[in-house]
Structure 1
């Protein structure tokens, strides 16, 4: 039933997230130790020296008797020529048997006293090699049932256990279930080998996310001490950079192999550390980067086509009073598609260099790309218009600034337009802009002073008296002006910039109402919790819907024959107008008989199901007797929708009852089994939930089932001292 499966997939993701959030992400007071070795649930110390023992494998005393090791998997992988899995199997066997030595001849792995070749067992190993773990388990169960005397090789069972543990650990890590990651690693120490570096990385991250940075370092130390893959060693350092402070990373860099055939090259990690040091200083003028670190970032910037390092150098130089260098780097970043941040930095650098006109050009071009760019543009245009003596400004620059300043109700911009108009002898325009700036910010004293000066130059005694009386007690400048003493800012009398008629028109404030800035559209929150699910829809049988596929769906059902009304109903269903289809099906039910009435009741029930009206659908299904196949289909769908609706409403007992009733008439599908499992989980019935999730796991849906199993482990395991 596709209609239910899509909904339940959303529910499961939500339930997993909710379970992790409810149980917490880790204990910050976990015990600290010195190495990443996990044995029997406890992390034990181990010196970080090269060794063949993987994490979790304790040294054992020499054995006098020969070690009997099942090497069938090794033989199989060697026969297949799969060298990667041969190496992984050798690492796994070494973890299980520390004193075991791999055979020198991989083509002769079986011995008279050891396991003999077995084609059926090899097929199970093949399933394991292909990652088909559930099928391998099923094959073992089938053979055990048909051959009671046959026992699966212990190494095969161990390999499957480790593979399943790896899947669960990965799943827990992907869902940020950090305590579960550490618990699985503790229970499966053979998973933590150089053959499974990804598992080690995830354990290191789990330590970091549970506030155990020293344990994170220990895991990385183990990898660098024992694992030889050059790319994985480099990746280990790169992951360390994202999780650890600089001091432990410098310690890890000491493991760089500079001799031998597999030499490391950790230079890019050192470059990244230098970059981070420059980045920390790029926004703090009190921090100064070392010249050698700046040289590294400059080398990186010059050798790439991406804008990142050029942007970094731009911001560093801007905040350290070197606007010329900042301008040059921001230009480079902008040419490399650095976007809004590069334009923002370039405009600020040009402003710092008093290059107001080019600063305005770049700032205006990008002013609508982000809030930061808008803020920079308003700052730049204000500075441009506020120069004293005033600069000659292109009327187009002023004209295009007015809508932005007005829309944003930016009082400093309105004041700047007022001073520019005043200083170019446009006193009426200046008066209007100062008044507008005061309307946006009533306590703006400079705008009030500008308004008083404008009234004075216009010889408007009434206006001057009103502003002087209102501001005399709050502004010494205005009080001095009213008392006849000279103010601090007077009109520029010598060599005024006489504006043209076009300039005068350009700076007139708009008479129309000021538009308010629109709020940014809200983004719909993710359906992260199990109660936030989309509306369910029932599937319309294609054979029925196809009957009306070419109709327009505009007929009047009351004027149609019963058969025509049924056809119209299916047409409306095809057009996704289910409630209108109900009206058409109703007419057929009332006036039809036999097969027509049966089809109409069936269609009406499906129409209600499409709108999630489950109760009405059940009533409609009973309005005419249905053939057994349809009756089962409708009953199963109604019960499934009831279960989903009950889960959405948090009525988990009803979910279990509805699914139990449904399971009596049709086999239970995996998605509904998972819904049952999550309902048990929500009710705290963890053993029941575990049984359901394990049953789903055995059918091959291991990923979905593992989410539930990990959630149970996260909810039930005690807070351990890892």
Structure 2
């Protein structure tokens, strides 16, 4: 049973040769396509791939000159194949790759008019490789992870940029700095999204010398000239961290949220005694909250069809991999918008950024453009690209709930970053602004504020915060904090 749609052009050539040789001797029945002949057309219709649909129609009309396609091609979508197709995608989604292969073979054997589409097989192989690669990285098995990535180049696509960054870390684990830099250089030369370029520059900064950093920044400018301002600003910041002069004029100002610039309260300012800078809080007990991705059925553009219906149905079931497979290469903005939420929930934030960015600019209604911008910012924040999200937030008219969610995450990330850089007064300002915005002080941020006070020398104020948190809920973290403030 053929498994690759590229077999059809060869069949077309063979059919033409037979027609020239046999002429009228070809049976009349051969002038009408059967279910297997129409399989590729149905597949491309379901994928909303208009270019492939037109090409396949031309092929069928050459091979079957007496056949006339229906006036409404949507009628041909009805034959969706065996019921087991949905189960196959569910098995892939759950990571049961052996089970998926067994069900594919069973379905292929039981349904003569069906063959597994290339997209399904590609998704299966790529999902399995992704699982193996992720496990190898988590186990710090550098050589295994590197071998997997070499065997499946699709793992290193720009849409799966985290894999490339993790591959570089695996090379660094083996002491192969030049190979890691080579990966960063390849990413910057291959990907054009400014978010990817900036994050890659930041990661390369840890291992590149100044000349190499300048070379990478120049390559990033060549890849995304429209993002020159952001790239130059980042390079200047990285150079400042090395205590070397800025390379570019510092005439651009980063957009800030008003709440983030609130001055710290007077109680945080004593400087007479400073504890060692090594005083650090324990690992944060919880990550910043993020909403479950809203489903777009209520806000999607009106031109919904079978393509959107199947994608939205997969999303409604939480079948993120199936949703991504069905929406791959679609040019429809409503499908691309739904794809963004599937990528976000599937922990593929860079793919989500790409989809939401396009939907935010081309959405058919103001509501869709607004909600796509919301998803775009959530995805950037998931990548810890705080300032890029802040710039978008300053120019988008979000709902109140959306703005609270976005601004609270921005303040959260800025507070943590300020703490880690030793700017404790600014960390407290961000934490207090977060509490004012949300109406309460989150427990992990309360601990962070306490440690900031402690590092600034205000031991009594720090101890008051730790004691209050301990009385609310005594944990090993609050006990450790109280001991640090004694």
Structure that is richer in helix per residue = 2
| Fold agreement, TM-score > 0.5 | no
Normalized against structure 1, the TM-score is what? Answer: 0.27
Normalized against structure 2, the TM-score is what? Answer: 0.36
Larger-gyration structure (1/2):
1
